[in-house]
Amino acid sequence: MKSALIIHGTDGLPNDHWQPWFKEQLEFADYQVSVPQFPGSNRPNFAAWSELIRTKVGDLSDGVLVGHSAGTTIILRLLEQDWFSKVKAVVLVGTFLNDRLVKQNPSYDKTQFADLLPENFDINKIKSKCDKFYFVHGDNDPYCDYQDALDFCKQLSGEFITVKNGHHLGSERNLTELPEIIEKMTEDGVLNIFSNLLDDEPVEDQIFDCGD
């Protein structure tokens, strides 16, 4: 069976917002999905989280990776590792590339993401480890800069889905589904889902190819 992994964000849980629904959609497409609870979620630590993935989740060759916020950072750094296998697709929801916005908060602890954020990302290495990149981002995300995510998507020749007034695509919007990304992945042949998506009205979105 094909494998998939969903990685929650800072202060996150495996059953947060849209993650249980996304897990169900991947299972419809015949994926065995891991949704771990990662340790110390308030201070994401790449070494600790990647070790849990390496030892507990197992082989993700030709699989699908989904991350939210700090979970996207973990995924990008995983793809830089020599030991980590090439995957079929990566979904980055609210991509967290730097602390430029969050550090403007008066209560921000500048050491909170010291064990997560790299000095730089190796674009060529990341690109070589995945066939298809999907970015999903709120156009008014207060924590993860929209333009930064869009520019990064272009570097990876990915596809970008803008969620109008989507905020950080988490608890603030009470989003329990992200049907536009599943629909796009199905159109691209990344997923093969025979069941109908739920009929709830989706959030307004705009989809475009960053490689254009």
Residue 130 and residue 158: Cα distance in Å, rounded? 10
What pLDDT, in 10s, does the model give residues 2-17? 999 999 999 999 999 9
Q: Where are the domains of the chain?
A: 2-103+114-209
What pLDDT, in 10s, does the model give residues 125-171? 999 999 999 999 999 999 999 999 999 999 999 999 999 999 999 87
Give the architecture-level CATH label for domain 2-103+114-209: 3-Layer(aba) Sandwich (3.40)
What pLDDT, in 10s, does the model give residues 48-91? 999 999 999 989 999 999 999 999 999 999 999 999 999 999 99
